[in-house]
Structure 1
Amino acid sequence: MKKLTVLVTDDDQDIRDGIEIYLKNEGYHVLKAADGLEAIKLLEENEVHLIILDIMMPNMDGITATFKIRAVRNIPIIMLSAKAEQSDKIHGLSVGADDYITKPFHPLELMARVKSQLRRYVDLGEYDEPSEQVIGLELDVAAREVRVEGEPVKLTPTEYKITELLLKNAGRVFSISEIYELVWNEQAYNAENIVAVHIRKIREKIEVDPKNPRFLKVVWGLGYKIEK
């Protein structure tokens, strides 16, 4: 198996760099982000196996980032916080974090928790090597390209993001609000027409018969999905 990747997200560069040293000594590949927005962007562009995520950060805090990540990914998240109150720990775990460690912490304790979470995720079967190909429909994340029967499809950046979201989570139904908030990165308000127009355009580009779609399906009253 290839080297596992850990994403370290903290607005303190010294903390990011310090954790990176210990992770690299353990043989992990390391990505670093200064806030939740940067972390989510790196997650969209890279295969990540675990996230170390600070709670208090500018632009997007760790709680909000965890909520957004959990909408699309099941990778382990270890939260870091300067707050030791039980309520903060419960809040972090309730939105989807797998573990919680209070600053200041001993690096070896953090490494032990990283290994524990990765063992559960990778060795015990919760992680599958990614397969982003649905019969006839293929996603190339590196090239930011969608192909139908091997032929590239010209999508706008927004159309690509919607298709990428649905393809990475093939079979899962996303509501209109979820699609809007995850793709446009803002609260959904009167989003029905906006999303519907983009879905229609995507269908026209990836379906042989857009009125009888093979891939991009509507689940009435719930939302949209790409079927395997």
Structure 2
Amino acid sequence: MALKILVVDDEPMIIDVIKAYLERAGYVVYSALSGSQALKTFRDVNPDFLILDLMLPDFSGEEICKRVRETSDVPIMMLTAKTAEEDRINGIVIGADDYLTKPFSPREVVVRVEAILRRTKQASGRDILSFNDKDLMIDFLKKEVRVKGNEITLTPNEFKLLVAMAEYPGRVYSRLDLLDKMQSESYEGYERSIDVHIKNLRKKFETDTKNPEYVITVFGMGYKFGGKLDVSNPSI
């Protein structure tokens, strides 16, 4: 069954071009010209991917992203004419998987969509990882994280960041390495967004944020995952 993509933009010509390229690539494409229409269509069709313009006539794409993230971890790619670094960082922090500035190539849109969907599909095929005698457990299918048996609520980007490090315990990742893991492209200058996610992760499941057990800073280099992988593959 073809995957469904919702394209949200207040410029019909942009929607038509993106739609033509995505349909040529085999996707079923829905569209919306406003924020309110986007949310209604999202609820009605439950798309597999959301392409979201940030500057809409009724309310912002950032607000739509926040509302979608309350109930869904569907991949989101933001389209915008905003070029300021803070705008891009904010988009990533609130839950976007990718960020593309206008003008852009519609072929690049398709390539980025397919890259993100490949990663999503790969992640959905995993089972469970547990660390430190089941102290920390990551369920890839349910996208759940449990610490000492208690479920921890993570944002989609926090979950992706944790998974990127936990897959290879002890490996040191630079900020750009982690951006590569979280998105289809590296964005030089946006490494600070990784620091924000790291800080939030520690607050949510580290017993002592100043002496973290799992998300460890390697000064001058980046971050690594400090948990010891359990030999067995348990069930939650």
- Output the TM-score relative to the length of structure 2: 0.52
1:62 partnered with 2:61:
yes
Look up the equivalent residue of 1:9 and give its one-letter code.
V
Tell me the alpha carbon deviations over residues 6-49 of structure 1, each in whole angstroms, 9 at most, x when there is no partner: 10000000000110000000000000001221111111111310
Q: Alignment partner of 2:117: what SS?
A: helix
Q: Alignment partner of 1:51: what SS?
A: strand
1:73-222 equivalences in 2 (<5 Å): 73-125=72-124
Q: Alignment partner of 1:27: what SS?
A: coil
Q: Alignment partner of 2:124: what SS?
A: coil
Tell me the alpha carbon deviations over residues 173-196 of structure 1, each in whole angstroms, 9 at most, x when there is no partner: xxxxxxxxxxxxxxxxxxxxxxxx
Change (3 A) 1:75 1:126: farther
- Output the TM-score relative to the length of structure 1: 0.54
Aligned residues with identical type, % of pairs? 39
CA distance in 2 between counterparts of 1:39 and 1:20 reads 15
Query: Which 5+ residue runs of structure 1 have no aligned equivalent?
Result: 128-171, 173-228
Change (3 A) 1:108 1:97: same
1:18 corresponds in structure 2 to: 17
CA distance in 2 between counterparts of 1:22 and 1:106 reads 10
Look up the equivalent residue of 2:50 and give its one-letter code.
I
TM-aligned CA deviation for residue 126 of structure 1: 7.3
Higher relative contact order (CA 8 A, sep 6+): 2
TM-aligned CA deviation for residue 124 of structure 1: 3.0
Look up the equivalent residue of 2:98 and give its one-letter code.
D
Change (3 A) 1:126 1:47: farther
Question: How many residue pairs were aligned?
Answer: 129
CA distance in 1 between counterparts of 2:60 and 2:38 reads 11
Look up the equivalent residue of 2:94 and give its one-letter code.
V
Tell me the alpha carbon deviations over residues 157-181 of structure 1, each in whole angstroms, 9 at most, x when there is no partner: xxxxxxxxxxxxxxx9xxxxxxxxx
CA distance in 2 between counterparts of 1:18 and 1:25 reads 11
1:140 corresponds in structure 2 to: none
Look up the equivalent residue of 2:107 and give its one-letter code.
L
